[in-house]
Structure formats: C-alpha cells, structure tokens
Structure 1
Amino acid sequence: MYRAFGLSSSYAKVLKFDFLLQMAEYKIAGREHPDVPHRLLGDIYQTGGDFVLDQEGKVRLSHPSQHPLDRPAMADLLVAMTGKP
C-alpha cells in the first residue's frame, strides 16, 4: 500500500535539521514521543503522507510528505472529507 501511494524511503528527508531540532525540543521539554511497536520499525526512513479516500476507494486528497513535519492544511482535509470549502 505504501508504494501504491508513491511514497518512498529517504534518509535525507527524514533526518532534516528542523525535524531533529523538534525531537530534541520534545526531549528537553519532557514530552513523550508516540510509542511505536518494534514490529513497525522496519524502515525508519520511510517518508509519510496523508490521504483521504471516499467510500468507493477514490482518492480525494493525496499529500505525500516532503519531510516528517509536512502535513496538509486542515482546510484542505475538511474539503476532501466534506466536499465543501
């Protein structure tokens, strides 16, 4: 499924300075990182994305992430889910 959405694995994209800085800030602030089961850590350099599919399986929103902190705007997600601006 990961490859079907055109996502990739990239050391350079995953380990960008801004992302590493945010992770360091979490640590300093005492914030917990999400606990990920070991079995899901197969490729830690996978780039992520956000996708919205309708009931028929048609892709309504495709947002492959350029880096770990890249997410679609909430307004774009709402339009994809409701069809209304």
Structure 2
Amino acid sequence: MAMFNVLVYNSGAIWWVSVENAPMKRFQLMQRINVEGLYGTIQAAFQEPRPRIIVVSPPIYSRFFRGKTARAMGKIGMSVLTKGLR
C-alpha cells in the first residue's frame, strides 16, 4: 500500500460568470471537480492512518458570490466539507 505524508487539494475548475450565463454542463463540471473530487480524495486519504489534509478553498463570506455564484457554490461546498472534518 502506498503511503503519503500530506494531501494538498487545490482544484482548478473555474468559470467566473453569473448564474444566467453559466450553462448547466459547465456548472456540473465545476461541482464534479471541486466538490465531488474533494470528497472522493478525502475518502481515499482516510484509508491511511491519521491523514493530514490541506484543502485550498475560500472563507465563507457573501462578497465572494457576486458575479460568480456558480463557481462559488462549489468552492463554498469545499469549505463546508473541510470544516465538517474537524
């Protein structure tokens, strides 16, 4: 079994547009990479004893949402998932 010292997750699905300009296909891609990707990666990390995980995601504040709500939903989902691990 492969071992690791630390996992760093910094996903990169970006599409900074408003909701009315974000096609569903693009929205789903961002959710798959940002949220689902993190979830699956964390589950894999928990196969190791005492995994150390660093997630690059924003603090939760509403200014981040303006004009990029579709992306913000995924990135905030990452923040919520990370906080839930504590």
TM-score bin (small chain): under 0.3
Could you say which structure has the higher helix fraction?
2
Could you say which structure has the higher strand fraction?
1
Bigger-Rg structure (1/2): 1
Point out which structure has higher relative CO (alpha carbons under 8 A, 6+ apart): 2
TM normalised by structure 2 equals 0.27
